[in-house]
Amino acid sequence: MLDATPSTHSAREALRINPAKTCQPIGAMYAALGIHGCMPHSHGSQGCCAYHRSHLTRHHKEPVMATTSSFTEGASVFGGLANMTQALNNIFTIYNPEIVAVHTTCLSEVIGDDIPMMIRKAYDEKIIPEGKVVIHANTPSFVGSHITGFAGMVTSMVKHLPSRAGEKHGKVNIIPGFVDPSDMRELKRLAREMGVPAVMFPDTSDVLDLPQTGKYVMYPHGGVTLADMKTVSHSLGTIALGGFTSTPAALELESQYGVPATLLELPIGLGTTDLFIDALHKVGGVPVADSVAWERGRLLDVMTDMHQYFYGKRVAVAGDPDHVISLVQMLLELEMRPVYVITGSSAPRFEARVQQLLEGRVPEAVVKQNADLFDMHQWIKEAPVDLIVGNSYCKHIGRAENIPTVRFGFPILDRMGHRLFPTVGYMGAMRLIEKMLDAMLDKKDRECPEEFFELVQ
Kindly state the DSSP code that residue 35 receives in the 8-state scheme.
Answer: B
Q: Look at residue 276 and tell me if it is in a domain.
A: no
In this structure, are 154 and 195 located in the same domain? Answer: no
Q: Quick check: 41 and 100 in contact, CB under 8 A?
A: yes
Rounded to 5 degrees, φ, ψ at 215 are -125, 135
- Position 2 scores a pLDDT of 60
In this structure, are 151 and 196 located in the same domain? Answer: no
Q: Look at residue 274 and tell me if it is in a domain.
A: no
In this structure, are 250 and 319 located in the same domain? Answer: no
- Domain endpoint, select from 252, 287, 322: 287
- Position 182 scores a pLDDT of 97
Q: Look at residue 123 and tell me if it is in a domain.
A: yes
In this structure, are 84 and 202 located in the same domain? Answer: no
* Cα(316)–Cα(387) distance, integer angstroms: 6
Q: Look at residue 147 and tell me if it is in a domain.
A: yes
What are the DSSP calls for 185-246, one per residue? Answer: HHHHHHHHHHT--EEESS--TTTSS----SS--SS-S-SB-HHHHHHGGGSSEEEEE-TTTT
- Position 9 scores a pLDDT of 81
In this predicted model, what pLDDT tens digit does every residue of 280-298 receive, in sequence order?
999 999 999 999 999 999 9
In this structure, are 179 and 151 located in the same domain? Answer: no
* Cα(127)–Cα(117) distance, integer angstroms: 14
Q: Which residues of 189-202 are buried (b: 16+ CB within 10 A; e: fewer)?
A: ebbebbebebbbbb
- The CATH number of residue 83's host domain is 3.40.50.1980
Q: Look at residue 150 and tell me if it is in a domain.
A: yes
In this structure, are 142 and 207 located in the same domain? Answer: no
By annotation, the residues acting in catalysis are 106, 110
Question: H or E element: which one contains 67?
Answer: strand 67-68
In this predicted model, what pLDDT tens digit does every residue of 389-411 receive, in sequence order?
999 999 999 999 999 999 999 99
- Domain endpoint, select from 104, 132, 160: 160
Q: How many CA atoms lie within 13 A of 267 on its CB side?
A: 30
Q: Look at residue 132 and tell me if it is in a domain.
A: yes
In this structure, are 260 and 305 located in the same domain? Answer: no
With a CB cutoff of 8 Å and minimum separation 6, the contacts of 143 are 24
- Position 419 scores a pLDDT of 87
CA torsion, ordered 457, 446, 59, 272, to nearest 10 deg? 30
Task: Pick out the chain residues at pLDDT < 70.
Answer: 1-3
In this structure, are 68 and 208 located in the same domain? Answer: no
- Position 63 scores a pLDDT of 93
- Position 7 scores a pLDDT of 81
Give the three-class secondary structure for 83: helix
In this structure, are 156 and 44 located in the same domain? Answer: yes
Q: Look at residue 249 and tell me if it is in a domain.
A: yes
In this structure, are 196 and 76 located in the same domain? Answer: no
- Position 263 scores a pLDDT of 98
Domain that holds residue 56: 24-160
Task: Name the domain count of the chain.
Answer: 3
Whole-model pTM?
0.95
Give the three-class secondary structure for 135: strand
Q: Look at residue 456 and tell me if it is in a domain.
A: no
- Position 269 scores a pLDDT of 97
- Domain endpoint, select from 223, 256, 287: 287
In this structure, are 196 and 252 located in the same domain? Answer: yes
Triad 218, 177, 171: Cα angle to 5°: 85
In this structure, are 228 and 105 located in the same domain? Answer: no
- Position 384 scores a pLDDT of 97
Residue in 306, 292, 345, 346 with CA at minimum distance from that of residue 431: 306
Residue in 239, 185, 193 with CA at minimum distance from that of residue 34: 185
**Cross-strand pairs, 101:** 40, 135
